[in-house]
Amino acid sequence: MTSLVADPVIANLPYRHTDDVFIDGQWQDATGTGRTLVTNPATEEVWGSVPQASIADLDQAVAAARRAFVGAGSSNGWRDLAPTVRAGFLLRLADEVEKRAEAISHTNTWENGSPVAESSRAASNAASIFRYFAALAGLLETADIRPFPDGSGETVVRQDPIGVCALIAPWNFPINLVVAKLAPALMAGCTVVIKPASPTPLSVRLIIDAVQAAGIPAGVVNLVTGPGSFGDALVRHPGIDKVAFTGSTPVGRTIAGACGQLLRPVTLELGGKSSALVLPDVDLDALAQVLIRTCMRNTGQTCYISTRILAPAERYDELVDMVTATIAAAKQGDPMQPDTVFGPSATRVQEQTVREYIRSGLAEGACATTGGDVASGFDQGFFVKPTVFADVTPGMRIAREEIFGPVLSILRYSSLDEGVDLANNTSFGLGGTIFSGDPDRAFALAGRLDTGSVGLGFFASNHAAPFAGRHDSGLGAEFGPEGLKAYLSPQSVHRRIR
């Protein structure tokens, strides 16, 4: 595995062990006494650490965000800048993020084990998100005038920024899932306090570096680090006007409950148990080309991937053979090597969780056609052999619960109606795919799937389209104009027509 000495990008990072948080435009020492260690999941090497901020630090961060939002004295706040001016900042921020692409990629991989083939796209993707939302400035500047039905007056509908937003990110995509919140919040005129996930607190510092280099005013973006309990304090802080969270459904429920009590707007992007509905006319060679990206992306640590493959009975055996061969042939190993497909689980806890699910699948009668409850083959690191299960039935835990690891379940259906019922037989509703040789048939079928997004022959997100979960997969939407509106509060101004 790549060592610290062998990776000069990581070895030369100036902030591997830090004592500071970013508040009001500057790094300052945190006043909390605890520390969070950062571990490379491929080597188990502790290579970094960050402070656990105190409630006093949190109070300072929220107060700084409030001052930056409303302005002081004769100075305008961030909310008062013209949308085109804010868009200009976002475009400069996008450029600065791209300048840090290599450092972002390496830091991301050293934090959570994402293969560098995955993390190397993080900066360019983040930059494209900033540029997309900058392009929506016109939506905020276009007058929205609605006549009274009787013609006696009209209403001017304004869209005001909500205020100070708490952005809480997960560990699986620590850059892009922050930026998916940060970009629309800034474009809308909001200011933010960011809390990264505990295992991945360092890569986001490169985004803060870019924020500084782009000249974004002090206090508009703040960064604090801490454990889950600190995140709860951020969610409940009286100075927060909105919360945006990506993570597990159980934690999302807790956040939703807190925001419900406080009548505080919240966007939740939560878990998934998506299905790939394979039709009898599928081209298996074409499916094999996109299988890992669609069903096991990022070592299975992706919320929307289709970890349940629903196969027609008449082609079940050949589909199992293809999936097994494709997964077994993909390289697992050092995530810093460009040809590695599967890295380690992000944490020891996650590795043990995945292994427990594999054992439950075997105990309930599923057949591991590759992988299974076996040794990883590595002397160190949180590795789990990518596993494919055949003979899976809908009641098994591996067919119902989100595993968040390199585990696929293949279920059999006898009729298309049964296949659709299986796809919808879940408490989640985040993603899904349909594989068919007939694109029109697949498109017509998509409307029968009860999920927020459906891919036809592949799955990918589109910054211009909403990404929204149904049921246990969340509340609200990210991306698209819908994602921008999540950070706006409408005001109707009624006036008589003279």
Indicate the domain borders of the chain: 8-270+475-491, 275-468
Pull the structure tokens for residue 4: 């610290």
First to last CA, the chain: 75
Token pair 């592949």: residue: 458
Q: In what helix (H) or strand (E) does residue 178 lie, and over which residues does it extend?
A: helix 176-188
In whole angstroms, give the CA distance from residue 163 to residue 274.
34
pLDDT of res. 74: 66
pLDDT of res. 358: 98
Backbone angles phi, psi at 359, to 5 degrees: -65, -35
Residues 6+ apart with CB under 8 A from 440: none
Backbone angles phi, psi at 39, to 5 degrees: -115, 135
Length of the chain: 498
Picking from 115, 116, 86, 92, the residue whose alpha carbon sits closest to that of residue 102 is 116
pLDDT by residue for the chain (498 residues), tens only, comes to 887 668 999 998 988 999 999 999 999 999 999 999 999 999 999 999 999 999 999 999 999 999 999 998 767 999 999 999 999 999 999 999 999 999 999 999 999 999 999 999 999 999 999 999 999 999 999 889 999 999 899 999 999 999 999 999 999 999 999 999 999 999 999 999 999 999 999 999 999 999 999 999 999 999 999 998 899 999 999 999 999 999 999 999 999 999 999 999 999 999 999 999 999 999 999 999 999 999 999 999 999 999 999 999 999 999 999 999 999 999 999 999 999 999 999 999 999 999 999 999 999 999 999 999 999 999 999 999 999 999 999 999 999 999 999 999 999 999 999 999 999 999 999 999 999 999 999 999 999 999 999 999 999 889 999 999 999 999 999 999 999 999 999 999 999 987
In whole angstroms, give the CA distance from residue 59 to residue 93.
26
Backbone angles phi, psi at 325, to 5 degrees: -65, -40
The domain defined by 8-270+475-491 carries CATH number 3.40.605.10: yes
- Write the DSSP symbol of residue 202: S
Task: Identify whether the C-beta of residue 113 lies closer than 8 Å to the C-beta of residue 239.
Answer: no
Residues 6+ apart with CB under 8 A from 249: 270, 271, 402, 428, 472, 473
Given phi > 0 = left and psi -120 to 50 = alpha, else beta, which region is 191?
beta
Strands 153-161, 488-496: parallel, antiparallel or unpaired by DSSP? antiparallel
Write down the CATH number for the domain with range 275-468.
3.40.309.10
**Chain Cα centroid distance, residue 42:** 22
- Choice among 96, 111, 269, 402 that is catalytic: 269
Radius of gyration from C-alpha coordinates of the chain: 23
Q: How far is CA 427 from CA 34, 202, 272, 396, in A?
A: 38, 34, 9, 14
- Secondary structure (3-state) at 158: strand
- Secondary structure (3-state) at 413: strand
pLDDT of res. 256: 97
Indicate the pTM of the whole model: 0.96
The dihedral formed by the CA atoms of 182, 185, 187 and 192, expressed in degrees to the nearest 10? -80
Across 120-203, where does the E strand assignment appear?
145-147, 153-161, 164-168, 191-195
Task: Identify whether the C-beta of residue 284 lies closer than 8 Å to the C-beta of residue 319.
Answer: yes
Token pair 């597990």: residue: 248
165 has catalytic annotation:
no
User: What residues form DSSP beta bridges with 278?
Assistant: 435
Task: Identify whether the C-beta of residue 222 lies closer than 8 Å to the C-beta of residue 22.
Answer: yes
In whole angstroms, give the CA distance from residue 295 to residue 212.
37
269 has catalytic annotation:
yes
Alpha-helix runs per DSSP H in 48-121: 55-70, 83-99, 101-112, 116-119
pLDDT of res. 498: 72
In whole angstroms, give the CA distance from residue 303 to residue 312.
25
- Choice among 165, 303, 402, 478 that is catalytic: 303
